[in-house]
Every structure is written in C-alpha cells, then in structure tokens.
Amino acid sequence: MMKHYFEHASSVVFGCMGLGGEWAADAYTAEHVKQATIAVEAALEAGITVFDHADIYTLGKAERVFADVLKANPSWRENMIIQSKCGIRFEDATGPKRYDFSPAYIAQSVDGILQRLNMESIDVLLLHRPDPLADLPALGECLSNLHAQGKFRYLGVSNMHWYQIEALQEVVSFPIIANQLEMSLAYRDWVEDGMMANSALNRHSGYTAGTLEYCQRKNVQLQAWAPLAQGKYSGRGPADCSTSALVSKLAAEYGVSPEAIVLGWLMRHPANIQPVIGTTNPARIAACAQAMHTQLSREHWYALLESARGQEVP
C-alpha cells in the first residue's frame, strides 16, 4: 500500500500556501490563476510530483485556483500526488480560532476540499494540528468511513508528537504515512534532540524526543514545512551572516543553487525528509529542485549545522 505513495512521490514537495492571493474573503482573479499555472508548471518541469494544500490556505482560494489550473491542463493531474489538510478553524461567528477533529467537521471539511479541488478523491489527507478535544475512537470511525468511501487514499498528520501518531494509528486500520513538521537549518530541534541526550539543554526544546526516530521506524514520511526558513540563508537574510556565506560557498563548490544546499542539508538526513517548499517564483522553484540531485558530504553537513547553531556539537 505504502509502496505506491513512495514510488511516485518526488523528494521535494510543492507547497500551495502561496497560491490564490491574500488570506482574505475576496475572490481570486485571473492573475492568480496565471501565477499558479506558472508555478505549478515550473514545479512539474523540475520533477516535483507532490502538491501540498490545506483547506485554510488563502481561505480556500489556493485549492480553487489549483482546480482551475488543472481544468485548463488536465494531463498534469496524472503525474501528481495531491494532499490537503483539515482540522484548523479560524475565528467565526460561533467561536475563536480552534482545532476541530469532530466527525461532523472532518467529514464536512473533506467534502469541502474535494469540492474546491474539483476531485472525487485526494491522494493524502493530513490532519493539520492535533485537537486536544478529539474523541479518538469517533475520529477513527469517521476517517475509516471517508477512506472506505474513497475520498482519500492515504492518511497523514501534521505537527504531531510521536505518541499522538501512535494513538491515532490505534483507531484506524490503514497506515499513517506522513507527519509534516517545521524543520530547517534555522529550526533544528528535531536534530538537536538526538544529539543532546544527557544534556539539560534538551529540556528547553519544544520538540518531542523520539519523534524523528518513531517516524523513521514506522515508515511515516517526514515532510518539512518552512524548509527554506523563508530564504534566511539563501538570499533573503543578511549576506554577511556566516551561515549564508557558507551556503553560498558550498553552492559554488557543488555547482548548485544556495536553495539546493539549504534543502540538501535536510535531505542528507537518513530519515528521508521531504522539504515542502513555499516559493511561487518559478526560478526559485527550479533552484529548490536542484536539491533532489545534491548529496552533501558528512563534513559539509556538520559544517552547516555548526554554523547555524553558532557552536560546535557537544
């Protein structure tokens, strides 16, 4: 079952959060569809096959714009793995910003995703952020029904501790195949955790010890959101930052883009991390895709880690 997903999945994922304009209740325009078409085409040309959505992105417009792109280019769909997320609700007339894993809301959200994307089924459904009020057996039953109805093929999660994944896994009979977390050269708790055993410093990390190892052992694909840290080390941050300078130097040495070094650092880890890139700029998409062919040496991986953390490893 899982084989299918990994066989077709590219090692870099295109994040669709930047499609569809502003996070506002206005309508999207032909310009947004054009921008999305250019970005999606650049991703496909660069060999990216996985597209990451969420029902909340630009308040539903990202999914609607994406559907328009595919309507005009139907052949693109066959090479794509499309995933979307649900479970986050913004403040509305009935309550504040909240998470909602109630069966009624999840079922309604999945139907909304399919309707906006104009599809009968999506490849992967991710639960966006854990809901403390989730009734797990009821959630499991709801997800099993939606799965049996063919509304999604694979189930994943996002921003979950390993023990939350394990608990959810107990209430569904199909495997949870992905966990999406913030991971980057700038956000390194996931790697620090494994190196800082026996250190008081570890207690200050917001990362739950063992999540990386759990996902590796259980074949849960790790997906890294904000993998470029919004360009902090690849052009947007100060050029005199020592890590940006090292990234540039290595880019020249490997003959690749700075983005390929920053993403290649994540991908060098044996956990097989898939960066979910958020750029909509076609040149930057191509620059990111070079990471799929960049293999950093152990020495360069550690040099980048040392530079970003500001001191050598313990």
Give the residue numbers marked as catalytic: 57
How far apart are CB 185 and ligand NAP at their closest, in Å?
A: 10
58 binds ligand NAP (CB under 6 A): no
Rounded CA-CA distance 74/294 in Å is 31
Closest of 308, 62, 80, 97 to residue 183, by C-alpha? 308
Q: Do β-strands 176-182 and 13-15 pair in parallel, antiparallel, or remain unpaired?
A: unpaired
Mention every residue, 6+ apart, whose C-beta is less than 8 A from residue 92. Answer: none
89 binds ligand NAP (CB under 6 A): no
158 binds ligand NAP (CB under 6 A): yes
- Among 10, 84, 159, 307, the residue binding ligand NAP under the rule CB under 6 A is 159
Judged by beta carbon, residue 190 or residue 225, the one nearer ligand NAP is 225
281 binds ligand NAP (CB under 6 A): yes
How many other C-beta atoms lie within 10 A of the C-beta of residue 1? 9
21 binds ligand NAP (CB under 6 A): no
Say how far residue 307 (Cα) sits from the centre of its chain.
25
Rounded to the nearest 10°, the torsion over CA 125, 288, 186, 178 is: 20
| Residues 283-302 interacting with ligand NAP (rule: CB under 6 A) | 284
Say how far residue 300 (Cα) sits from the centre of its chain.
25
How far apart are CB 184 and ligand NAP at their closest, in Å?
A: 7
In one-letter notation, the amino acid at residue 234 is S
Rounded CA-CA distance 314/299 in Å is 16
Find the residue with minimal CB distance to ligand NAP: 278
Judged by beta carbon, residue 20 or residue 227, the one nearer ligand NAP is 227
How far apart are CB 46 and ligand NAP at their closest, in Å?
A: 14
Burial of 107 (0-12, 13-18, 19+ CB in 10 A): middle
Binding span for ligand NAP by CB under 6 A among 24-32, 101-109, 201-209, 223-231? 223-231
Binding span for ligand NAP by CB under 6 A among 68-76, 137-145, 221-229, 306-314? 221-229
Judged by beta carbon, residue 143 or residue 196, the one nearer ligand NAP is 143
Mention every residue, 6+ apart, whose C-beta is less than 8 A from residue 104. Answer: none
Binding span for ligand NAP by CB under 6 A among 15-23, 107-115, 147-155, 189-197? 15-23
Judged by beta carbon, residue 177 or residue 196, the one nearer ligand NAP is 177
199: left (phi over 0), alpha (psi -120 to 50) or beta: beta
Rounded CA-CA distance 59/235 in Å is 29
- Among 220, 226, 251, 266, the residue binding ligand NAP under the rule CB under 6 A is 226
* Total count of residues recorded for the chain: 314
Binding site for ligand NAP (CB under 6 A): 15-18, 52, 158-159, 180, 225-231, 234-236, 276-281, 284
